[in-house]
């Protein structure tokens, strides 16, 4: 058995584990990700990994939370600094969703797609977190004189619907464009 890690070593190793794992998830997806490959790249034992995470699901979920927070900060900065209107926001958001789901396995996989985790209100904590994010966006727009008729819940649902639609574009097939136009019209008509 190896020596215990100092707090500084633990903090550095955790960052390294998440950086390497994130890269592996993006290339391999969740299903093909192997903890043994990760530990080899990080330079720790398999037992060392389990001092940080219960399993690969726990690691993946922590990376998702970190990524969600990073993306949300970026969105708030863009809305604030680029004076993005609600219409521009939803159009850009759809393009980002489509690009990410097409180019990065981290954003869609068999376990829990990032986009769905970012926006789906499947539990009270996630729902509250999503509403808080929407309220932050609404405050920025209100400070710029843009007042929306849609409620926070309606805006959160619009973002969730857009994300789910974009995430499952391949499954929808040729009908995607029609569905996207319907969702776009619904969103824009209620802003």
> Diameter of the chain by CA atoms?
63
Q: What is the dihedral of CA 115, 121, 123, 129, to 10 degrees?
A: 80
Helix (H) or strand (E) holding 158: helix 152-167
pTM for the model stands at 0.74
Per-residue pLDDT, 136: 94
Model confidence pLDDT, tens digit, residues 156-188: 888 877 777 777 777 777 777 777 777 777 666
Per-residue pLDDT, 117: 61
Per domain, the residue ranges of the chain are 1-53, 67-189
In the 8-state DSSP scheme, what is residue 106? G
Model confidence pLDDT, tens digit, residues 13-42: 999 999 999 999 888 888 889 999 999 999
Q: Two tokens at 50?
A: 């389990």
Residue that is written with structure tokens 């966006």 in the block? 137
Could you tell me the fold of the domain covering 1-53?
Arc Repressor Mutant, subunit A (1.10.10)
What is d(CA 171, CA 60) in angstroms, rounded to the nearest whole number? 24
pLDDT at residue 120 tops 70: no
Tell me if 68 sits within 8 A of 114, measured CB to CB: yes
Model confidence pLDDT, tens digit, residues 50-98: 999 999 999 998 998 888 888 889 888 988 888 888 888 888 887 777 7
Residue that is written with structure tokens 């996989």 in the block? 109
What is d(CA 124, CA 94) in angstroms, rounded to the nearest whole number? 25
């Amino acid at each position: 058995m190896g020596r215990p890690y100092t707090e500084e070593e633990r903090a550095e190793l955790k960052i390294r584990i998440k950086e390497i794992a994130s890269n592996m998830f993006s290339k391999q997806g969740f299903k093909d990700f192997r903890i043994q490959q990760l530990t080899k790249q990080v330079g720790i034992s398999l037992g060392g990994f389990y001092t940080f995470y219960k399993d690969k699901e726990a690691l993946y979920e922590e990376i998702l939370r970190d990524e969600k927070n990073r993306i949300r900060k970026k969105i708030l900065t863009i809305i604030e600094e680029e004076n993005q209107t609600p219409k521009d926001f939803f159009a850009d958001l759809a393009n980002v969703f489509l690009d990410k789901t097409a180019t990065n396995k981290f954003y869609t996989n068999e376990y829990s797609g990032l986009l769905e985790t970012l926006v789906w209100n499947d539990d009270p904590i996630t729902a509250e977190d999503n509403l808080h994010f929407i309220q932050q966006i609404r405050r920025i727009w209100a400070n710029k004189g843009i007042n929306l008729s849609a409620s926070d819940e309606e805006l959160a649902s619009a973002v969730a619907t857009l994300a789910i639609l974009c995430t499952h574009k391949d499954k929808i097939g040729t009908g995607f464009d029609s569905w996207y136009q319907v969702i776009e019209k619904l969103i824009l008509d209620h802003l």
